[in-house]
Amino acid sequence: MSDKFWQNKPLDALSEDEWEALCDGCGKCCLHKIIDEDTDILYQTSVACRLLDVEQCQCSNYSNRKQFVSDCIKITPANVEELHWLPDTCAYRLRAANKPLPIWHHLVSGKKDLVHHLFHSARGIAVTEQQAGDDLENHIISVIEV
């Protein structure tokens, strides 16, 4: 990985390792969203994808995830600007807009856990599908501005 790649290289010039390292590990993108088909309003819920480890905020089977969650979307330099539901803090979203990473990001701070300690992750928010039951609407936590 090259020196300070996260601020010196555009997204489409990152190596695969650099791309993966850019993720802050917040896990927020792995929380279910629901859309009201009458209004097109998109809501964020606290209910985690079945593969998300809600404590670690990591996908529990990242390399094989498509076998279990076929609609899991792979973020790429080509689609990141269309994924308006990504949180404002998402490192890919920030760098796509040529904004700096926050000081708590592990590449800047050197501390992987700061994202959790400073409440920028899904830890403490996310509930499992089993805990949530059938009705996602009971677990709406915000409206997603698109």
CB of 38 to ligand SF4, least distance (A): 26
Distances in Å between the alpha carbon of 111 and those of 23, 30, 107, 114, 126?
A: 13, 22, 8, 6, 22
User: What residues make contact with ligand SF4 under the rule CB under 6 A?
Assistant: 23-30, 49, 51-52, 59, 65, 69, 72, 75, 86-87, 90-92
Residue 83 vs 140, nearer CB to ligand SF4 = 83
- Cβ-Cβ contacts under 8 Å for 89 (sequence gap 6 or more): 24, 26, 28, 102, 120
Distance in Å, CB of 135 to ligand SF4, minimum: 20
Closer residue to ligand SF4 in complex, CB, 42/69: 69
Q: Which residues are 53's β-sheet partners?
A: 58
